[in-house]
Amino acid sequence: MPSRYEDALNRIADKFRVTAEKAAKEGIIPYKSAEGKWIASPYDGNSWWTGGFWPGLMWQLWTLTGDGFFRDEARRVGQMLTDEFRTFQKLNHDVGFMYLLSAGADAKLTGNEQARTDTLHAASLLMGRFNPAGFIRAWNEPERTGYAIIDCMMNLALLYRASRETGDPRFRNTARIHADTTLREFLREDGSVSHIVELDPATGARVREHPGQGYAPGSQWSRGQAWGLYGFALAYRHLGEQRYLEAALRIADNFVKHVRPDGLTDCDFCQPPEEERIDNLAGAIAACGLQELSQLTGDARWTKQAERLTDGLLEHCADWGEARCGILTHCTASYHDDGAGRHTNILYGDYFLAEALMRFCGKDAELWN
Ligand code: GLY
């Protein structure tokens, strides 16, 4: 493991040891940083889907350093997230991201019983979104009853955990049905994946694809490719079906072909070549998914590709200065809508950069397992 990764990890811990105090003082869940400040989510208050990445990062840094500050900060936000169980209306399929990395991490790393209960509560909410026509419903708007999205492959990790914890196969069986629908409806011939597929909520039949956060219908939103890569790799780890590994390998092959020469990732692999629109969230997520794939296959080629992405991020887009609270720059929430941030620091980029480095250093807290 190159020592540059160990160094980068230590720098992340040092920087967050200082800047996380600001978030704690303000009592917010950071979504992004700008002008020396942490900024809370632009939508849906504390139910916004990214809330789990702050505690997830704190748990990774606690695993690295043993510094109780990080554990306490993770729990501060973990409590804010479990308070959202009572509001309920804004929670959606992203309870996987939100609670696996907060309560799920606490239960896994410290044996906290209440956190285990909260994790199972969240898994039951995700199960409640399952439509027996064959998919987990993504969002809550009445006109979106049939929407399924590629990102959900990551949320399935909450269901794998719940089956393991309870010994009840319901959760993993549901995950398998959703993964098979995703395989059938999202994976394209060229190894790319759609972002949103609308299904008939009565029958499960395909209605149409929507472009979602990507450039255009039929294009390749890079973060969606990264979610698919990592999500199918995890499906193979937990469900053991060869078809999920094959899907992850096809998506990975397509992904690495599109990485820019500087190791960074465009927001959409089909965007106009003259458009400079980078999304480093995609690169950071893929750097983790590729390492997962390398572990699963024993093929070091994927580790090399993960290094290429991580080196690109560290070399060009890591801001270690004090003027910015977070680290990874050039994160872009959505191709056409800059409301949630364009070419800026978005906190879950820092989470996945830290996870990628923890993996390289053999210290990963394994929060998705
Ligand atoms: N899961 C939503 C996104 O990646 O923006």
Query: What average pLDDT does range 156-173 have in this prediction?
Result: 98
The CATH number of the structural domain formed by 3-360 is 1.50.10.10
Contact 193, 184 (CB under 8 A): no
Strand-strand pairing, 130-131 and 30-34: unpaired
Burial label, 27 (beta-carbon count in 10 A; 0-12, 13-18, 19+)? exposed
Hey, how many other C-beta atoms are within 10 angstroms of the C-beta on 20? 23
List pLDDT tens digits, range 70-95: 999 999 999 999 999 999 999 999 99
State the catalytic residue, choosing from 7, 14, 67, 94.
Answer: 94
Query: What average pLDDT does range 97-110 have in this prediction?
Result: 98
Contact 181, 134 (CB under 8 A): yes
State the catalytic residue, choosing from 151, 266, 279, 364.
Answer: 151
Question: Rounded to whole angstroms, how far apart are CA atoms 299 and 292?
Answer: 10
List pLDDT tens digits, range 309-342: 999 999 999 999 989 999 999 999 999 999 999 9
The predicted pLDDT at position 163 comes to 98
Examine the pLDDT at 1 and tell me if it is beyond 70. no
Question: Rounded to whole angstroms, how far apart are CA atoms 154 and 36?
Answer: 31
**Residue 364 is among the residues annotated as catalytic for this protein:** no
Query: What average pLDDT does range 115-129 have in this prediction?
Result: 98
Each domain of the chain, given as residue ranges in start order, spans 3-360
**Residue 151 is among the residues annotated as catalytic for this protein:** yes
List pLDDT tens digits, range 23-36: 999 999 999 999 89
The predicted pLDDT at position 211 comes to 85
H and E: helices and strands count for the chain = 13, 8
Atom 2 of ligand 1: nearest residue by CA position: 151
Hey, how many other C-beta atoms are within 10 angstroms of the C-beta on 300? 9
Give which of 361, 366, 354, 306 is closest to 328, Cα–Cα: 354
- What are 203-210's contacts with CB under 8 Å, separation 24+? 203/133, 204/131, 204/133, 204/134, 204/135, 207/146, 210/147
List pLDDT tens digits, range 350-362: 999 999 999 999 9
Paired tokens of 279:
């999304």
To test the ligand 1 pocket, which listed residue (227, 230, 331, 344) has its Cβ within 8 A of the most ligand atoms? 227
Phi, psi of 114 (to 5 degrees): -65, -40
CA of residue 186 relative to chain centroid, distance: 18
How far does the centroid of ligand 1 lie from the alpha carbon of residue 3, in Å?
Answer: 32
Sequence-separated (6 or more) residues with CB below 8 Å from residue 175: 156, 159, 160, 235, 238, 239
Contact 194, 213 (CB under 8 A): no
How far does the centroid of ligand 1 lie from the alpha carbon of residue 193, in Å?
Answer: 14
Query: What average pLDDT does range 8-22 have in this prediction?
Result: 98
Query: What average pLDDT does range 264-276 have in this prediction?
Result: 97
